[in-house]
Structure 1
Amino acid sequence: MTDTGRSPGRRGLIRAGLGAVGAALAGCAADAGPVRPLRLATGPRGGPYNAFGQALARAAAEAGPLELVPVDTAASVDNLRRLDEGSADLALATADVAEDAVLGREPFPRPVAVTALARVYVNHTHLVVPAAGPVHAVADLAGRAVAAGAAGSGAQVVAGRVLRAAGLTGAAAAGAGPAPADVRLMGLAESVAALRTGAVAAFFWSGGVPTPALTELARELPLRFLPLDGHVGPLRERHGPVYTAVALPAGAYGLTAPVGTVGVGNYLLARDTVPADAASALLRVVFDRWRDLLREVTAGARLEPRFAISTGRVPLHPGAAAHYRSVYG
């Protein structure tokens, strides 16, 4: 996305607004005691959600008076469940999982009352195999061991849907077609180690570009990144427009040409019990510090309001809606 917030007027407005909201919140804190810390469900330690959450907590602390407490989790599915039960106030999650939660689709037994503050960046789905290996397309994963993301992660969801669309899992794989893939649920570090030793033939990862762990692996082991853009259409037909066609750019991981793949947005979410002024203050931090925040998870990304408000079936938090109207019209 293109940043349209470069003008001094807009950035000045953001800074002025942040000070005004901060002063208002500080006044409330003086009357009613300290502002309650907001628990932010992130992801596993060392992963991009965890890095983003830690960076956001630091930025909020510097802006004051918001206090965010990042919580290590299994990522998207786990985070939505924590929001639902009230053990987290804020969370990061992929757009597909968030929409499943709002609509009460599997793995959620009923609709989850959750709201969005912003879409913050887009994950790129990586399907990684050794360059010297026999796997050149998703169909070649038939009968082979595949690491499909950590349990409860967004990577697990998109990997499962790609494999199902290819007829390698579920009912389609139980018939006379190709042998099902041997799906194993592993986080990124475990997946990298398993590919390095040959314990799996491939692994899925959903994250920003470049992902440092993959950059490091590519220096040790020549890699092939399988194209997945041909699966975008079927995924959109079945699951809606949460999936988009994106590309791993040339230069990342030593790629000599772009590789088309599946993109899915990442949302910053909140329970509707989060106060409107706190939601607005947090968004002002996000927009004032987006360069620092996104540097932690993906290169070259930008954040602007028209991108941020594109949260599909997940409704905006009332404080977020008021923020966008008041600041950007």
Structure 2
Amino acid sequence: MVTRRRLGLLLCALLLPAFAACTEDPAATAQAWHGGTLTIGTGPTNGVFNQIGGGYADIVNRHLEGYEALAPPTNGAGENLLRLASDDVQVAFTFADTAADAAAGRGSFEGKPVKFKALARIFNGYTHLVVRANSGITSIKQLKGKRVATGPQNSGTELVALRLLGAAGLDVKRDITQVSASLSQMANLMRAGDLDAMFYAAGLPTVGVQALFAQSPGMFTLLPTEELFLTMGKAYPDIYAPGKIPKAMYGLSADVTVVAVPNLIVVREDMPADLAFRLTQLIFDYQSELAAVHPEGDNISRDIAALVSPLQLHSGAGRFYGVS
């Protein structure tokens, strides 16, 4: 015989799913693109992209209802776009030069162009070229015959490093011993004397470079690369910019002029316009939170954020900036 209590429990079990469905917000459920999970491609754990990307994910998690953002470390600009193409990430931090190649199907993206659109141009990545202070190396051209680390594979650092070496007249396969490694690995190799030089392109300051200089005062210095700016500009128009690394940034004796590359936040082309609008809006509504994570967050400017040439803005980002 079924008791009244058992009947009540049975009715609860039968009716609970329907009740839960009635209490959910169907509009929020229907509008959550990609199941409500956004993975952000950032960069190495001690790099600026990873720090700013983590802060951006926190902002999304607190202020974009219906979405959860993840910000795992990656090898950076190039890998992020490869992962964007495979839908492993939906939002990516990248460099303008890497993005231009990916969109056009050039270089490491030969024959496999990536479809994506930009949300914003953010801050610049500055080319750090580290050598020993007593090495006698005063120009990038003097890296011939040296052991040179060009950053992680498929990174924005690798691309700009290879282009700078080429602009200096050096054949990467013949004239140097190329080493591919993460920032922390490169720093360790420099300390051990197993590298003569290392490249790293990122915002200022870069924690890994800062630690290298702080832990070995007077042992390392940065080489200028601005001498190659005109050559780079002719070979790759409208991509690179001149930049300056202030001497106080790493305890140097003088400012260092370098080649810089604009950094971008990009998203999959199929992202809904309303979501792209909100993701763009969050960058500026909570910019102070990004600045609290890393000083480069304060250098994001709405005045130039829409200047993402040679890429295209996502229509949702364009609506935020008031451009078509």
CA deviations on 1:269-305 (whole Å, 9 max, x unpaired) are 0011111111111111110222332443445842222
CA distance in 2, matches of 1:27, 1:306: 38
CA distance in 2, matches of 1:75, 1:216: 20
Taking a change above 3 Å as real, the CA distance of residues 90 and 31 of structure 1, as seen in their structure-2 partners, is closer
CA distance in 1, matches of 2:232, 2:102: 18
SS at match of 1:71: coil
In our comparison, the structure showing a higher alpha carbon Rg is 2
CA distance in 1, matches of 2:32, 2:121: 32
CA deviations on 1:12-55 (whole Å, 9 max, x unpaired) are xxxxxxxxxxxxxx883056679621221222333222222211
CA distance in 1, matches of 2:320, 2:32: 25
CA distance in 2, matches of 1:291, 1:232: 33
* Aligned length in residues: 295
Equivalent pair of 2:204/2:296 in contact (CA under 8 Å):
yes
CA deviations on 1:130-168 (whole Å, 9 max, x unpaired) are 112221111211101011111111000000111111122
CA distance in 2, matches of 1:228, 1:32: 48
Taking a change above 3 Å as real, the CA distance of residues 155 and 31 of structure 1, as seen in their structure-2 partners, is closer
In the other structure, the counterpart of 2:74 is: 73
Q: Percent identity?
A: 30
1:215 aligns to 2:217 (yes or no): no
Taking a change above 3 Å as real, the CA distance of residues 32 and 156 of structure 1, as seen in their structure-2 partners, is closer
The TM-score normalised by the length of structure 2 is 0.85
1:272 aligns to 2:281 (yes or no): no
2:123 pairs with 98, 121, 124, which one? 121
In the other structure, the counterpart of 1:139 is: 141
The amino acid across from 1:138 in the alignment is I
Q: Which runs of 5+ in 1 are unaligned?
A: 1-25, 175-179
Equivalent pair of 2:119/2:317 in contact (CA under 8 Å):
yes
In the other structure, the counterpart of 1:104 is: 105
CA deviations on 1:159-184 (whole Å, 9 max, x unpaired) are 011111112225xx75xxxxx01111
Larger relative contact order (CA 8 Å, sep ≥ 6): 1
The TM-score normalised by the length of structure 1 is 0.84
CA distance in 2, matches of 1:60, 1:88: 15
Give 1:124 deviation, angstroms.
0.5
The amino acid across from 2:286 in the alignment is R
2:157 pairs with 155, 166, 188, which one? 155
2:191 pairs with 196, 213, 220, which one? 196
The amino acid across from 1:64 in the alignment is L
